Structure 1
C-alpha cells in the first residue's frame, strides 16, 4: 500500500492511542462539510412523490433525478484524482461545493422534470469532486489510523443522512422547491467553513494520471468490492428512490421515516461495524449484513401493499446498511497498493453505475409488473453481491490484517 503516513514507531503509537473522535481541526472541518453534503442527499427523498404529482410524472421519470446524479457522479469519479492532484485537496473540495450550491439552486428554480434531471447531473459532478476528496482528506489528515478515520467519516455520513430527510420533510411540506434551496444554502455555509478553517494540504509530488482508477481496478480485491457494491446498490436505491411511493405518507411523514433509518445507519456504522469486523472478519461480516438486508427487501416485496410493513423495513434496514457502509469502505482503502484517493475513485465509479441504473429500473419494474417486483429484484441483486464476495474472498484475505495495523 502506497502511503504518505510516517513509519516512525512513536507516530504509530500516537495513531493507535488516538480515539475515533480525537481528530485535528482540519478533519472536523471536512467532516462538517460532509454532514451538510449528505444532508443534501436525504433532503430530496421526502419530496419525490410531491414532484411526481406536481409535474404529472411517473415514479420512473422522477427516479431519473437519482440516475442522472449517480451517473455523472460515477463517471466524474474517474477524474477526481487527476483534478485534486493538480488543484490540491482544499480547492478541489471547494470547487465541488460551489458546483453543488449552483446546481441545487438552479434545480429549485426549475419548472420541468427534464430540467431538474439535467441539473441533478451537474450536482453530481460537484458531489464527485467533493466526496472522493473528502474521504481521502479525512483519512490522510487523521491521527487515529485508517479504520478509525473511516468510522469518523461514516459518522458524518450517517448524521447527514439522518438529519437531511427530517429537514427535507419540513421544507418539503412548505414547497417541493424548499429542499433544493435548502441544500444550496447549507452547502454555502460549508463553503465558508472550509474556506476559513481548512488548511492547504500539500499536493502530491507526482500528479495522478487519468488512467490511475482504471489501473487500480486490475487489482482483484478492489474489483471484488466494486462489483459487490454495484450489485447491492440495486437494493439500496430501490429503498431510497422507490419505497417513498408505497408508504402513502406526506412529505413530513417520509422525513420522519428516513430520519429513523439514517439514525440507525449512523449508530451502527460507528459502534457496531468495528466490533463485528473484529469478531467475525470483514468478508463474513459483509456477507451476513448484506444477506440480512436482502431478507428485509424480500419482506418489503411481500408487504408492498401494506405501508406499515414498508415503513418498518425501511427503518430496520438502516442497521444493516450502516454496518456494511463502514465495512466495505474500510476494506476498499486497504484492498489495493494504490493511493487511497485512487482506490476510492475506482471503487466509486463502479458502484455509482449501479446507483445510476437501479432507481430508474425500480420504477419501470413497478410499471411493467407490480409494486412487489422492484423489491424482489433488488433482493436478488444484493444476494448476487454476497455470492461475488464469497466466491472471490481469497482476494480479500489480507484486509483484516491491514485494517488492524492501520
Structure 2
C-alpha cells in the first residue's frame, strides 16, 4: 500500500492510553492484512471453486475483478465519509460489513451468490481501508510515524507472501472440511475480534473541513467502469452481441459526461471526486498512466498463470502457491532495499523495476513454451523472483515520484486518485486477460490448450508493462522528488506545532489523510 500525503485539518479524539493506542494500531494493521489477504488468497482457490460450484470462466473473472472493481469505485468517497462522519465509526462499519460478506462468500451455494458476496466484500473493504492511515496519523506525532509506517509496510508485504501460501494450504489440506470456503470463513473470527477491540481502543477523529461528497461523480464513474468491465467479461461467452458493444459505447459516453461534470464542479468552487487540475501536471499524468498499466499487470499475469498450473498441469493449490512464492519473496526483500534509493534514483528506480518486471514476464513465457507439459516449479523461480524485485523497485517509489510536482496541499487528493487508478487498472486488465485466455482455451481442455492460452494472455501484461516503462520516463526528476519530500516534511511539522493536540500523552498534529490503498508489494 502507498502512504498518503497528509494535509492539515483534523480534530482528534480525547486522550487514549499508550496501551490502548498499541491495541488500536494492531487492529488497524490486522484490518489491512485481512483486506490484502483477500486480494491474493482467492487466486489459488479458483480451480477448486470452479469444480465445486460449476463456475463459468466469466464467473471466475468476476470473483477476482468484482472485488477490485467495487473497491475502486467507492474508495475516494469512503475516505471522505470518514472525514465527515468519523473515521472510527466508518472503519467499524467497514469491518462489520466485510465480515458478514466473508461469511456469505464462505457459505455461497452457487457461483452467482459468491460473485455477489465478493462485490459486497470489495465495497466494505474500501470502507475500512482508507481510515487506517488517517487514524494512524491522528494517533502518532510526525516524529513517531516513521517506525509505525515502516511496520505497516512490513505487514502489507507479509500479506502478499502469506496470501497465496495460506490459500494453498487451506484449500489443499481441506481445513475443517471446508476446502476453498475456509479462505473466506477465516475472516469471521478475525473480523469479530477487530470490532470488539477497535470499538474500545480506537479514538474517534474527523476533519474540520472535509470535502463534500460528489454523489453525481460517484454514480457516473461507477456506472462507466461497471459497463466496460461487464462488457469485457461477458462479451466472449455471449458471442459479442450488439448490446455488448452498446455497453462499451455507453461507458465512453458516461466517462465523457463524468469528466465534464468534474470540470464544471471544479470551476464553480465545489469538491469534485477527481480534481482534473491535477492532470494538467505532466509528471502526475505520467504517474497515473504508469500506475494504471503497472498495477493492472500484476493480477492479469497471475490469473492466467494459476489457471494454467492447476487446470493445465494438474498442480495442487499448495504446489501452485509454492511455485509463485518466489515472486512475493523477491518483492518483500527488494522493498526494504528500495526505500533509501527513492530520493537517489527517483524515476530511474521506477523504470528499472518496470524493465525487470517486463523481462520477467518474457522469461516466464519462454519457460512455459520451452518446457511444455514437463514444466516444474523450479523453472519458475528465476522469472518469479525477478518479477517480484521489479514490482518492489517500481511500486515503492512510484507515489513519491508521481507527486513530486504536485503542491503539498493537494497531495492527499492526488494520492487518493492514484490509488483509485491502480484498482481500475487491475479490474480492466484482468478483464482483458480473461477475454484472451478463455478465447484461446475454448474447445477440448488439454495442457497444450491451456499453455497456448497462457502464452497468448501474457502479451497483455507484457505490453502494458512496456507502456508503463515508457510513460515512467515522463515522471518528475529526482531533484523534484527531494524538494517535494522536504516541503511535505516542513509543512507537516509546522502544522504539528500550530494545531497539536494531546493524544496518548503525546503532542500530535491534526492531519487529514486520504488513506489510499494500492496493490500490495
Residues 213 and 183 (structure 1), Cα distance of their counterparts in 2 relative to 1, 3 Å cut: same
Taking the aligned partners of 2:363 and 2:48, their CA distance within structure 1 comes to 26
What are the superposed Cα offsets for residues 192-233 of structure 1, whole Å, 9 maximum, x if unpaired? 3322322223x1111222344411662434433222111112
Q: Residue 155 of structure 2 aligns with which residue? A: 156
Residues 197 and 330 (structure 1), Cα distance of their counterparts in 2 relative to 1, 3 Å cut: farther
Q: Residue 185 of structure 2 aligns with which residue? A: 181
Question: Deviation of residue 253 (structure 1)?
Answer: 1.9
What are the superposed Cα offsets for residues 279-321 of structure 1, whole Å, 9 maximum, x if unpaired? 31x2111111011101111122223343534465334422222
Taking the aligned partners of 1:246 and 1:193, their CA distance within structure 2 comes to 42
Q: Residue 208 of structure 2 aligns with which residue? A: 205
SS of the counterpart of 1:303? helix
Q: Residue 359 of structure 2 aligns with which residue? A: 295
Residues 257 and 376 (structure 1), Cα distance of their counterparts in 2 relative to 1, 3 Å cut: same
1:60·1:361 contact (CA, 8 Å) conserved in 2?
A: no
Instruction: Give the superposed CA RMSD.
Output: 2.9
Q: Residue 80 of structure 2 aligns with which residue? A: 82
Residues 381 and 397 (structure 1), Cα distance of their counterparts in 2 relative to 1, 3 Å cut: farther
Q: How does 1:103-182 map to 2 (within 5 A)?
A: 103-139=101-137, 141-142=139-140, 143-144=142-143, 150-173=149-172, 174=174, 175-182=179-186
1:69·1:120 contact (CA, 8 Å) conserved in 2?
A: yes
1:272 equivalent to 2:337? Answer yes
SS of the counterpart of 1:3? strand
Question: Deviation of residue 69 (structure 1)?
Answer: 1.0
1:136·1:341 contact (CA, 8 Å) conserved in 2?
A: no
2:71·2:122 contact (CA, 8 Å) conserved in 1?
A: yes
What are the superposed Cα offsets for residues 318-377 of structure 1, whole Å, 9 maximum, x if unpaired? 222233332224446666334655333211221211111122321221223432022122
1:235·1:378 contact (CA, 8 Å) conserved in 2?
A: yes
Taking the aligned partners of 2:473 and 2:144, their CA distance within structure 1 comes to 27
Q: How does 1:15-30 map to 2 (within 5 A)?
A: 25=22, 26-30=24-28
1:401 equivalent to 2:483? Answer yes
Question: Deviation of residue 35 (structure 1)?
Answer: 2.1
Scaled by the length of structure 2, what TM-score is found? 0.67
Q: Residue 462 of structure 2 aligns with which residue? A: 379
Taking the aligned partners of 2:355 and 2:48, their CA distance within structure 1 comes to 33
Q: How does 1:33-52 map to 2 (within 5 A)?
A: 33-52=31-50
Taking the aligned partners of 1:98 and 1:343, their CA distance within structure 2 comes to 29
Taking the aligned partners of 2:163 and 2:296, their CA distance within structure 1 comes to 22
Query: Mind listing any 5+ residue stretches in structure 1 that lack a counterpart?
Result: 7-23
Taking the aligned partners of 1:213 and 1:134, their CA distance within structure 2 comes to 20
Taking the aligned partners of 2:87 and 2:410, their CA distance within structure 1 comes to 14
Q: Residue 92 of structure 2 aligns with which residue? A: 94
Taking the aligned partners of 2:439 and 2:115, their CA distance within structure 1 comes to 22
1:293·1:321 contact (CA, 8 Å) conserved in 2?
A: yes
Q: Which has the higher Rg, Structure 1 or Structure 2?
A: 2
Residues 320 and 116 (structure 1), Cα distance of their counterparts in 2 relative to 1, 3 Å cut: same
Taking the aligned partners of 1:196 and 1:241, their CA distance within structure 2 comes to 40
How many matched pairs?
Answer: 385
Taking the aligned partners of 1:71 and 1:192, their CA distance within structure 2 comes to 29
